[in-house]
């Protein structure tokens, strides 16, 4: 097996790098590097830049306007974007809802919603979790009752990432309370501007209001907003989650993070020696690099399987667990490398005139460290993923 990049792949990498050099404004990459929020407008601009180049929906089939890149192209693109500190592509419409609509949505839904995801006209958020229904998602209680040609929705979703920017939410709702838990759930598309919806922010450990609570109070939703069949939502929800988990692996982010921590560890410390000469630190650094290389290969294998039509199965759980452990280990090594300078975790401390204390590269470290605690929780916690892996692989 030849693991080197082909000439064609090297040329593709050069093309991506040139595109980023020309189209990614320095003030945007600087914000990303320092962990400063881009706001809605900042994300929308980057979304439009990629869409204009035809590189936004790189995981979509061509028939829906995607670039249909292979696993190596995706890997190269993600690696280059992370290394250049490009904004992350907001995944809710593009990588979560779109695969569901492409597989299970009606032609009318595909024709209506997919182009609007590409154009950025619609910003989607994910309404799965509820208070009391996170890991045990199938126990969700948000109720949708049929009333003529509408559903009437009542209940609450929580941890809704960037819901404050969204004009649409895809929701799991209970349509049959008598059926077995998983069998009474439907997948509904809800306009966030509908009367009866209230969005309330939740502030995270890093000081940012990245997630929200969303309340539904007699919200009327047209029946044509049901995806697939009523009470079959659990099947679609699981399909979406396998895509979500594979994306969370974040190989490119880890590679960029690893490069950054290596740079910091080579800087001379107060005792005249760089941290990388400390055997304990060097061993951890080497281990995480080995783990990352192994995971990058697994990631490509799973993406290629998915591209050939097989939905990623239990492998997406493996990627999620391993990928998030690696990202958190890199965060931890970076935090240790900057020592007491990893203090200004609140966004105010790295914005405006509030210059961080210590070297400039230490500024965003604590914010990233605290924010990325979420990685082992969302998309189904790592404990839950381990349970899935054990059940599928060991019949537990
Ligand atoms: C920053 C952030 C963003 C999020 N964004 C979204 C979003 O946009 N949309 C959305 O729908 N959801 C979102 N979530 C919710 C996320 O999916 C849930 O937090 C997650 O599924 C865990 O559910 P929970 O918080 O209710 O914890 P719980 O389910 O109460 O779990 C608490 C702890 O118990 C452990 N545990 C629970 N059951 C088991 C078990 N059977 N075996 C072993 N351990 C177990 C868990 O691993 C966890 O450590 C987000 C969460 C975070 C933190």
Write the pLDDT tens digit of every residue in 221-257: 999 999 999 999 999 999 888 777 766 778 888 998 9
Phi, then psi, of 378 in degrees rounded to 5: -80, 170
Q: What is the CATH number of the domain that holds 153?
A: 2.40.110.10
How many whole angstroms from 384 Cα to the centroid of ligand 1?
A: 9
Lining residues, ligand 1, CB within 6 Å? 125-129, 134-135, 159-161, 211, 374, 377-378, 380-381, 383-384, 387
pTM of the predicted model as reported, rounded to 2 decimal places: 0.92
Of 80, 130, 210, 244, the catalytic one is: 244
Instruction: Give residue 207's domain range.
Output: 123-236
The segments of the chain whose pLDDT lies below 50 read none
- State residue 180's pLDDT score: 94
| Inside any domain, residue 112 | no
- What is the number of the ligand 1 atom nearest to the C-alpha of 136? 29
Which residue minimizes the CA distance to atom 32 of ligand 1?
135
**What per-residue confidence (pLDDT) applies to 315?**
84
Please say if 244 is a catalytic residue: yes
Q: What is the pLDDT of residues 151-194, one digit of tens each?
A: 999 999 999 999 999 999 999 999 999 999 999 999 999 999 99
212 Cα to the center of ligand 1, angstroms? 14
Mutate to test the pocket of ligand 1, among 128, 159, 237 (most ligand atoms within 8 A of CB): 159
Q: Return all residues near 165 (Cβ < 8 A) that are at least 6 apart.
A: 40, 43, 123, 125
Domain assignment present for 115: no
Distance from the first to the final alpha carbon of the chain:
34
Give pairs for 348-357: CB < 8 Å, separation 24+.
348/207, 350/34, 350/35, 350/36, 351/36
- Name the domain count of the chain: 3
Give residue 304's Cα distance to chain centre.
19
- Domain shared by 384 and 255, yes or no: yes
109 falls within a domain: no
Share of the chain residues as helix, strand and coil, in percent rounded to the nearest 5: 55, 15, 30
In a domain, 135, yes or no: yes
Supply 138's token pair.
């199938």
pLDDT given at position 278: 94
Check: CB of residue 68 under 8 Å from CB of residue 77.
Answer: no
| Residue 231 and residue 137 in one domain | yes
State residue 272's pLDDT score. Answer: 84
């Amino acid at each position: 097996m030849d693991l080197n990049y082909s000439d064609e792949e090297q040329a593709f990498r050069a093309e991506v790098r040139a595109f980023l050099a020309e189209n990614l404004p320095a003030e945007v990459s600087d914000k990303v590097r320092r962990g400063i929020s881009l706001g809605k407008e900042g994300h929308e601009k980057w979304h439009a830049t990629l869409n204009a180049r035809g590189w936004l929906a790189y995981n979509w089939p061509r028939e829906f306007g995607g670039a249909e890149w292979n696993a190596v192209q995706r890997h190269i693109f993600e690696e280059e974007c992370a290394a250049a500190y490009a904004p992350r592509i907001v995944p809710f419409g593009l990588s979560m809802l779109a695969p569901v609509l492409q597989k299970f949505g009606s032609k009318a839904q595909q024709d209506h919603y997919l182009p609007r995801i590409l154009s950025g006209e619609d910003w989607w958020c994910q309404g799965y979790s509820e208070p009391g229904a996170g890991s045990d998602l199938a126990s969700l209680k948000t109720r949708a009752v049929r009333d003529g040609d509408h559903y009437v929705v009542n209940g609450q979703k929580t941890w809704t990432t960037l819901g404050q920017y969204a004009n649409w939410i895809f929701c799991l709702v209970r349509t049959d309370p008598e059926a077995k838990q998983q069998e009474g759930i439907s997948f509904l598309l809800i306009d966030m501007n509908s009367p009866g919806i209230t969005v309330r922010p939740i502030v995270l450990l890093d000081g940012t209001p990245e997630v929200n609570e969303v309340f539904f109070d007699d919200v009327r939703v047209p029946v044509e907003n049901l995806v697939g069949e009523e009470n079959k939502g659990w099947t679609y929800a699981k399909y979406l989650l396998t895509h979500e988990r594979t994306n969370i692996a974040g190989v490119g982010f880890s590679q960029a993070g690893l490069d950054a921590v290596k740079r910091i560890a080579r800087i001379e410390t107060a005792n005249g020696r760089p941290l990388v000469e400390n055997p304990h630190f060097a061993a951890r650094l080497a281990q995480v690099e080995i783990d990352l290389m192994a995971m990058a290969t697994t990631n490509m294998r799973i993406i290629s399987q998915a591209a050939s039509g097989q939905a990623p199965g239990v492998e997406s759980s493996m990627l999620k667990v391993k990928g998030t452990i690696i990202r958190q280990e890199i965060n931890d090594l970076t935090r240790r490398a900057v020592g007491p300078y990893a203090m200004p975790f609140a966004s105010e401390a790295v914005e405006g005139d509030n210059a961080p204390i210590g070297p400039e590269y230490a500024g965003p470290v604590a914010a990233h460290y605290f924010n990325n605690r979420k990685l082992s929780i969302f998309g189904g916690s790592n404990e839950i993923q381990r349970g899935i892996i054990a059940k599928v692989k060991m019949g537990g």
